[in-house]
Amino acid sequence: MEPPVAELNRLLELSSDRSRPPELWQRVLTCSAWHLSVHDPQQRLVGFVRATSDQALNANLWDLLTDPEDPARDEVLLALVQAALGRLRRELAGCSVSLSAPPEALAALEHCGFLVDPGGIRAMGLELEGPGR
């Protein structure tokens, strides 16, 4: 079940990111291999991550989002990372895994074995915007 776009956008905005139009969310969710969500006891979305892969060598985790106001934020981050990596190990063993993550996720990622800038390699990203944005 896909989380409501309004809830996904709420997490993006709480993370100081821009919201996305529903059509874009639909496209990225359709193109994803899977996604994971965490809800609090009131059923409010407090965590999200999605995965894409070429089904051979590479897997990518995207939109690692958590609610900064959630008192269990660190635990939610760790649960999302552990669950995502566990699923990747089962379904796509041998793939290299990359992700873009907010600074607050570093402890959870390092706990799960990620290395920050291994061997001095740094990733960069470029956001391409269409006309009128």
Q: What is the pLDDT of residues 78-133, one digit of tens each?
A: 999 999 999 998 998 888 888 877 888 888 888 888 877 767 666 656 566 666 55
Neighbouring residues of 74: CB distance < 8 A, sequence distance ≥ 6: 104, 107, 108
Residue 13's pLDDT band, with cuts at 50, 70 and 90, is very high
Quote the CA–CA distance of 42 and 67 in Å, as a whole number. Answer: 14
For the entire predicted model, the pTM comes to 0.84
* 45 within 8 A of 11, measured Cβ to Cβ: yes
Quote the CA–CA distance of 24 and 87 in Å, as a whole number. Answer: 25
Q: Which domains does the chain have, with CATH numbers?
A: 5-114 (3.40.630.30)
Q: In the predicted model, is pLDDT for residue 33 greater than 60?
A: yes
Quote the CA–CA distance of 55 and 68 in Å, as a whole number. Answer: 33
Q: What is the pLDDT of residues 38-91, one digit of tens each?
A: 999 999 999 999 999 998 889 999 999 999 999 999 999 999 999 999 999 899
Q: What's the chain's Rg over C-alpha atoms?
A: 15
